Structure 1
Amino acid sequence: FGFNSSFDLPLVSGKSTYPTNISNDLAATALTGFGQGNVRATPLQMAMVSAGVANDGTVMYPRMIDRITGADLSVIKEFDNQVYSKVLDHDLDSQLVQMMVDDVEASGGAASNAAIPGVQVAGKTGTAQNGEDQPYTL
């Protein structure tokens, strides 16, 4: 998903981190699974995770501009999509998407407040902490 990598964008973006030296520490490995321990994620990073899940498990390089147009709306330059990595196979990605849809659409789902009538929405609450006004990613 691009953790431990930086990206060349026309804005300041911190580097997200995922610990690489915890393979022998089962407790630390388990804690990272729900965002605890030494996991640090930027908003850009979490957008890449959400987009990768929505894109059938394929993470794209982030970019800020799709195309540049002239005053007459003619396309001067277009920027191509570039694959960063394939992180989930189709079957696993489909299962994860369904769980995220259920989290929004199921009665009592943790993200049920994000439901939009007539629109399929997938979501995941964004914190393992118990706090007021914590951020979410959808």
Structure 2
Amino acid sequence: MITRYRNNAIKLFGISVSLLILILLLVNMRAFGLPDALAAVGGILLGTFAVVFYVQANIALAKAKGHDSSSVAAIIIVASLCLAGLFFAMPLILIFGFQDKTKARKRSKDTTPEPIHRNPPAKLPPLRNNDIG
């Protein structure tokens, strides 16, 4: 898994969830006098951005596994046409269903530490005789 894309996906998932929480807070603010029209417009805007960040996070997660973003597009199309619950299970499908195509880093199997190689002490030229005649 490519860590740069994985970290980006986690960040985008966090933004998406925080926007969904903001929608709930906005709807609850109607009890404190927030106009219904403002809550509706704000909820639609926040919901739209939450879905956009969610899809971008899934694309970043597919890239982290070494796949194209077209594979995520195929899942989105199937999810929107067949099962709505599949849309929310998309990260689980990407994590557990897709094979990791990235190359594993080669790690040394030798556990013995390497000896420390130090340079030998420098050989200085002979000292000049300061006795000038």
TM-score over 0.5 (shorter chain): no
User: More helix by proportion, 1 or 2?
Assistant: 2
Higher Rg of the two aligned structures: 2
For the superposition of Structure 1 and Structure 2, which TM-score range results when normalised by the shorter chain?
under 0.3
**TM-score, structure 1 length as denominator?**
0.25
Structure having the larger proportion of residues in strand: 1
Q: Which has the higher contact order (CA 8 A, sep 6+)?
A: 2
User: TM-score, structure 2 length as denominator?
Assistant: 0.25
